[in-house]
């Protein structure tokens, strides 16, 4: 037979404990504060991202960067190479010597020009041709064979100095635009990407140098000219190529602008350039 039902135990109102009313504890308020903070961070990050990134709709105006050196405006347009050429070309010059010609970059408005040491060679006097065709006499301030950097001075002020990308991280794959005088064709613009950074190559002189590698076409005469990023900032001085034909095979090298400026400042100051080696 089934067990007899057990009657419920009655609890008299006098002896029953009243159900406690719920009250928030300190732990509850702590977790509530954490949850609110998390929601606030997510919402804030969303709106901050929209504000920083701008409106990406088709009708939105392009983001622009103003170059203090030239007063030009560079936009994230569909023609970044054309924008860079328009802004930077006035700062790129042609350098002529008795042994040939190369390129240079105006890096100070008071007449100082960066170029490659092998462009000037043993010359003490050169001819500098500005972008507008003006020809000026130039004096070689100094040259450093180890870095292949040289400085030329012309007696002219108010020149359009290039914007230099010193202390700017160079990324593999970023746009690279070369401007110079390949084969004597001044103000020639070519483009590609940065193929590698920190590439150590040994030139025909047996000196190893750390370079930026690019596939932007570089030919004889480009040496000393500018390698720039999409914001028209100079990231390097075009210097060398690997080639089986004597022309561009898409493996070019540029002296990093940080190295070039450090050497140039010492040459202008008349200080000795000393290179350290780890002879292992």
Residue 8 has pLDDT above 90, yes or no: no
Residue 246 CA, chain-centre distance (Å), reads 29
* Cα–Cα distance, 60 to 14 (Å, whole number): 75
What is the arithmetic mean of pLDDT over 179-194? 96
Query: Any catalytic annotation for residue 148?
Result: yes
Bridge partners of 153, per DSSP, are: 112, 139
* Cα–Cα distance, 107 to 176 (Å, whole number): 19
Residue 124 has pLDDT above 50, yes or no: yes
Q: Which of 89, 103, 191, 223 is flagged as catalytic?
A: 223
Residue percentage of the chain with pLDDT more than 90: 63
**How many other C-beta atoms are found inside a 10 Å radius of the C-beta of residue 193?**
14
User: What is the rounded (10 degree) CA torsion for 44, 47, 53, 58?
Assistant: 160
Q: Which of 83, 144, 148, 229 is flagged as catalytic?
A: 148
Residues 103, 95 contacting (CB under 8 angstroms): yes
Instruction: Write down the pLDDT at residue 29.
Output: 67
Q: Which two tokens stand for residue 273?
A: 């350039």
Write down the residue that tokens 């999409």 correspond to.
Answer: 230
For residue 23, name the pLDDT band (cuts at 50, 70, 90). low
* Cα–Cα distance, 118 to 223 (Å, whole number): 8
Query: Any catalytic annotation for residue 118?
Result: yes
Instruction: Write down the pLDDT at residue 164.
Output: 97
Residues 104, 226 contacting (CB under 8 angstroms): no
Query: Any catalytic annotation for residue 223?
Result: yes
Instruction: Write down the pLDDT at residue 49.
Output: 52
* Cα–Cα distance, 247 to 27 (Å, whole number): 74
Q: Tell me the helix, strand and coil percentages in the chain, rounded to 5.
A: 20, 35, 45
pLDDT in tens, 29-67: 677 777 777 767 676 655 555 444 443 333 333 333 444
Bridge partners of 114, per DSSP, are: 105, 151
Tell me the CA distances in angstroms from 47 to 5, 50, 58, one per residue in order: 65, 5, 20
Q: In which region does residue 141 sit, left (phi positive, over 0), alpha (psi from -120 to 50) or beta (all else)?
A: alpha
Confidence (pTM): 0.72
Give the side-chain half-sphere CA count within 13 A for 153: 13
Instruction: Write down the pLDDT at residue 52.
Output: 44
Q: Which of 103, 118, 123, 215 is flagged as catalytic?
A: 118
Structure-model confidence comparison of residues 22 and 53, the more confident one: 22
* Cα–Cα distance, 104 to 179 (Å, whole number): 10
**How many other C-beta atoms are found inside a 10 Å radius of the C-beta of residue 240?**
22
Instruction: Write down the pLDDT at residue 14.
Output: 37
- Averaged pLDDT score across all residues of the chain: 82
Using a 10 angstrom Cβ sphere, with 0-12 exposed, 13-18 middle and 19 or more buried, the burial of residue 258 is: middle
Residues 141, 154 contacting (CB under 8 angstroms): no
pLDDT in tens, 75-119: 566 899 999 999 999 999 999 999 899 999 999 999 999 999 999
């Amino acid at each position: 037979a089934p067990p007899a039902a057990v009657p419920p135990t009655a609890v008299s109102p006098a002896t029953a404990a009243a159900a406690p009313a719920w009250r928030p504890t300190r732990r509850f308020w702590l977790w509530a504060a954490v949850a609110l903070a998390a929601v606030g961070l997510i919402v804030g990050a969303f709106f901050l991202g929209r504000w920083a990134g701008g409106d990406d709709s088709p009708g939105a105006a392009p983001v622009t960067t103003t170059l203090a050196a030239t007063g030009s405006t560079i936009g994230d347009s569909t023609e970044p190479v054309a924008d860079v050429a328009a802004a930077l070309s006035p700062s790129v010059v042609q350098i002529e010597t008795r042994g040939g010609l190369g390129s240079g970059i105006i890096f100070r408005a008071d007449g100082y020009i960066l170029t490659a040491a092998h462009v000037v060679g043993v010359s003490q006097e050169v001819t500098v041709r500005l972008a507008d065709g003006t020809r000026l006499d130039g004096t070689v301030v100094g040259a450093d064979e180890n870095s292949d950097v040289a400085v030329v001075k012309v007696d002219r002020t108010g020149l359009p100095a290039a914007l230099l990308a010193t202390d700017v991280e160079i990324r593999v794959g970023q746009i690279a635009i070369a401007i110079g005088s390949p084969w004597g064709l001044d103000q020639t613009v070519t483009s590609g990407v940065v193929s590698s950074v920190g590439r150590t190559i040994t030139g025909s002189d047996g000196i190893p140098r750390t370079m930026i590698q690019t596939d932007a076409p570089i030919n004889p005469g480009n040496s000393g000219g500018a390698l720039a990023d999409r914001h028209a900032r100079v990231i390097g001085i075009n210097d060398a190529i690997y080639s089986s034909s004597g022309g561009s095979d898409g493996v070019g090298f540029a002296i990093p602008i940080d190295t070039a400026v450090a050497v140039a400042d010492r040459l202008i100051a008349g200080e000795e350039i000393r290179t350290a080696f780890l002879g292992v």
